[in-house]
Structure 1
Amino acid sequence: MGQTASQPESGKTLRVIGAGLSRTGTTSFGAACSYLLDGPCYHGGTQILNSPESHIKRWVEIFRHTPVKSQDDLEALHWGIKEMLDGYVACTDLPSNAFVAELIEMYPDAKVICTVRDPEKWWNSLAPIVEKGNLTVLTWIFAPLPTLRWFRTFHDALDQGRVGELYFRPGEPQRPTRAMWGRHIEHLKKVVPKEKLFFYDVRDGWEPLCAILGVPVPKDVPFPKLNDAAVMEGFMQKSARRGILAWAGILLSIAGVGYTVARYAKVV
């Protein structure tokens, strides 16, 4: 998250569907899959926030076809997902982890690997963002920045679409909660054939992941250890500073124009 976006490669097809929730080592997992499978990995946060604005807008369009209410929705959903993920050997994190049912149908030879950690530690990592984050303030700060000015729209499309469909319940807060963990695992067991579903903790390193993929364990190559939370926090802080500076420039420009107009009016 927050690094350079990967580029799809012709001839590559999806071999790993990363089904883990955010804050479960998805960045490390994606880097490991990319190394083992010799191809690019689509890590949702990295791709969306480091790509041209058209990229996040396309995902918003895709999510607006969920919940699926018609054949047209279903066809648009499949076409959109394929458009975004073709050319990658693996995908992980949002938005792809919300489309596991569709992905396993579209890529039947792929393996579904859900990265896991202690559920309480997972929620303790996510809760401050969910409960204290102020999307309204961020929306205003990010408004001058390409791509990031779509962050709130993207977030709303998730909650009103597939994410809300899978994890929110009537009468409960319409946002991620601790219950999301169990509901996610239950959903995966429901939509993925048992022989294709694997659970993996990145703290266990190369061996179990290589066993799942049926590839040799790398020799003298350290397992990638990338801190999802720290990278995300650093990216958002840097982006917030960019937004504030952009607003300062806008306000100074407005003030400059106003001053010029006032002087001209006084002279006239």
Structure 2
Amino acid sequence: MEAIEELFYHIDPPRRTRTVPMQVLAVGPSRSGTRSLRASLLQLGYEHCYHGFDPEDWKNPPTAEDFDKVIGHCMAITDHPAAAFAPELIAAYPDAKVILNVRKDVRKWHKSVMETLMPVYKSWRFSFRSYFCAELYWMQKSFVRGNWNIFYRGNFEKNSYQVLEDHVRMVKSIVPPERLLEWDIYDG
């Protein structure tokens, strides 16, 4: 399968080096104000805030060197990649501040994901189109079928509340209080 993927869906992965220090890790899940948080971080001068996903698939826990190949030009990171790799990012960038962005009203967060992201996740059209575009193929494979499933233990609808609770507990347990800001989009 790897040979077929290479033949039909080859994309040169980014090969960056760290050019600016990583300063902010916003490790809350998608639909917890990540786009607004990204806009705020950019406005505050944190250049190149990574907000997305990539086709990289690490076999071992990624290191700062591994992350830097993709986000070496970024001073901050938000959204699902930050949440999914939170422990690794926190370990890789021990001087970065950590924002735990979650929506206090977990039902609203769940509803937002169900109305915006899950239709794409479940879309046969998106899945079908991904076979004709390398970028969509890797998005489908690495994010939709890959990392999203792993993070939410195979079923967002069934496991999301518990995963979010576990995620918050884990982040709070590994980040010293002086390095952690808990933030909800309604906090402003």
Q: CA deviation at 1:95?
A: 1.3
Q: Is the 8 A contact 1:9 1:40 kept in 2?
A: no
Q: CA deviation at 1:14?
A: 1.0
Unmatched 5+ residue regions in structure 1? 1-7, 49-55, 66-72, 169-173, 206-268
Aligned equivalents of 2:149, 2:114: Cα separation in 1 = 20
Q: Is the 8 A contact 1:135 1:152 kept in 2?
A: no
- 1:33 equivalent to 2:73? Answer no
Corresponding residue for residue 12 of structure 1 = 20
Q: What is the correspondence of 1:1-268 to structure 2 with a 5 Å cutoff? A: 11-44=19-52, 48=53, 56-57=54-55, 59=56, 61-62=57-58, 65=59, 73-74=60-61, 77-78=62-63, 79-117=65-103, 118-128=105-115, 129-130=117-118, 133-154=121-142, 155-159=144-148, 161=150, 163=151, 167-168=152-153, 174-176=154-156, 177-205=160-188
Bigger Rg over Cα? 1
Q: CA deviation at 1:127?
A: 2.6
| Length, aligned pairs only | 166
Q: SS where residue 21 of structure 2 aligns?
A: coil
Runs of 4+ in 1 over 6 A off after TM superposition: none
Q: SS where residue 20 of structure 1 aligns?
A: coil
Q: CA deviation at 1:137?
A: 4.0
Return closer, same or farther for 1:181/1:144 CA change in 2, 3 Å cut-off.
same
Q: Is the 8 A contact 1:34 1:89 kept in 2?
A: no
Q: CA deviation at 1:23?
A: 0.4
Aligned equivalents of 1:81, 1:193: Cα separation in 2 = 22
Q: Is the 8 A contact 1:9 1:88 kept in 2?
A: no
Return closer, same or farther for 1:179/1:39 CA change in 2, 3 Å cut-off.
same
